Structure 1
Amino acid sequence: MVPSFGEQLTQREPFVVHLHNTATRCVERFVPRRPPAVGMYTCGPTVYAAQHIGNMRSQMFADLLRRMLMAAGFDVTHVINITDVGHLTDDASEGDDKVELAASAEGIAPSDIAARFTAQWQRDRKRLGCLDPTILCRATDHISEQIALIAALEAKGVTYRIEDGIYFDTSRWPRYAKFARLEMANQSTTGRVTGADNKRNQADFALWKFSPPGVNRLQEWPSPWGVGFPGWHIECSAMASKYLGEQFEVHTGGVDHIAVHHTNEIAQTECAFGVHPSVKYWVHHEFL
């Protein structure tokens, strides 16, 4: 992020903002679609435990960017999500739900675990001086939106069903590898993208996971495909499009999200709505 201040910054002479755009790997002048309005989405916490300093760096990074855009004269709508379902212990759509695991360990409801650590995260943000988000949205409050988005993808012919859920077929989306510059031929050997043998492609990811037969999960919902819960990635596409539209200006997050979470988010959104790019500027921060 490089603000060009010129010789003197005054209210009558707002500075020009330049951002490093992960999508292009270039520093670009920031030009919103409909100035002065700016839509900005930040990946928020998975609320199964207290956030560590690296998690909070993500919030401070986004807050700094938001403040800079506001100082430059833009009207920023900042959306942050709360992941309280669907984030499994494995990036490949396998393992146990992190919030459910924490709830089971304490013998309480997942909603209680989520409420506790959401409140702690909010207190930590205030201690760090972060502005409140314009919109704070929880995954469990947007199950219907996620189901509708999965149905839209199904209508586009990019989903398939296997024993444990509904998956996105990455081979049906030609731009899938472009954002993270993935070598799809090597996906079977990459460390973070592994998964069930019955997936069509190693990089395919879950949109909806079925509850195991005879098992009542702590968090599950009916759907056109069966009782279960949404995959991790679909929540961000559903909530970002609801509050910011099918296309918006800025999406922030950590570099660890580039190859998996954000690549999948782009595939979902752009395929479902037929838009490109869904996000004009992707801005990522490094690890602390």
Structure 2
Amino acid sequence: MRMENVVLAISFMVFLATALHAINVEMKEPIVKSISDGETVELGTIGPGQTLALTVKGTEIGKGGLQANWGVLGVLEVPPGWQGFDSDVYAKNMKATIKADPNAPDGVYVVKLILTECENKTATCEFQQGLGQITFYGKIKISRDVMKTAVPQVDVTTGVGQPARYPVKIENKGEANDIFEISVEGVPAWEFKKRVYVAAGETLNTFYEIVPNEEKEYKPTIIIKSISSDSLMHKYDVHLISKSDVIGDIRATKNGVLLFPSTLEPLYSLMGILGYLIQ
């Protein structure tokens, strides 16, 4: 009985020592969470082709209660068609990135990562600082609903050579920062493309301008798309009438003109003021 008690006591001490020295990882992005070895973490939702950043704290308390540095946060496994990029070595905040397949179907995907004291994610080294390594898994949901857009005003009248301004709203509902491109089809000789940055979880209100070069009625299509994937694209049919008349030109001038001689600057400034008065 005494021998059994000794064995049990030793086993408990080994278990306790292991538990006390277990290292957890402090994740900062895209979620704030303490992660342990072998854990699976929900990393949120992104769209096809978008890039998700994973950031963890680069230092922890190691052997002897001293501050220790992680070597690298590495991406070990990603689904077919995806890409993984390791963090910088010995960074204060370890940031690895995962880029989804631009044509990935909606669904849940799993990636595998490692945080190690070594400089190389696949290397074997002596864990002199007492941190060792931690392997964990991340679940990423792919959804085409991460992008929400609107063009509140679809009917605009302007003068020939004057900008027709359409308001545009872009909401990025996912966990990935992204750049969105606004363009138009259906207006000859107008190929202007506007790019805007929208952070994860943010909404941007901007505008897109079309400058017609002749007196005509147009039925263009405004296109809003993520540069990450053509799968994230919305189209809006709008209406544009360009008229060559003095009142219309004055009203449109409040939105600005593209080019004019410097000698006519006072005249255009006055017309811009009148443009706000004439509705």
Which band: TM-score by shorter chain? Answer: under 0.3
Structure possessing the higher relative contact order (Cα contacts under 8 Å, 6 or more residues apart): 1
Structure with the greater alpha carbon radius of gyration: 2
TM-score by length of 1: 0.20
Q: Which has the higher strand share?
A: 2
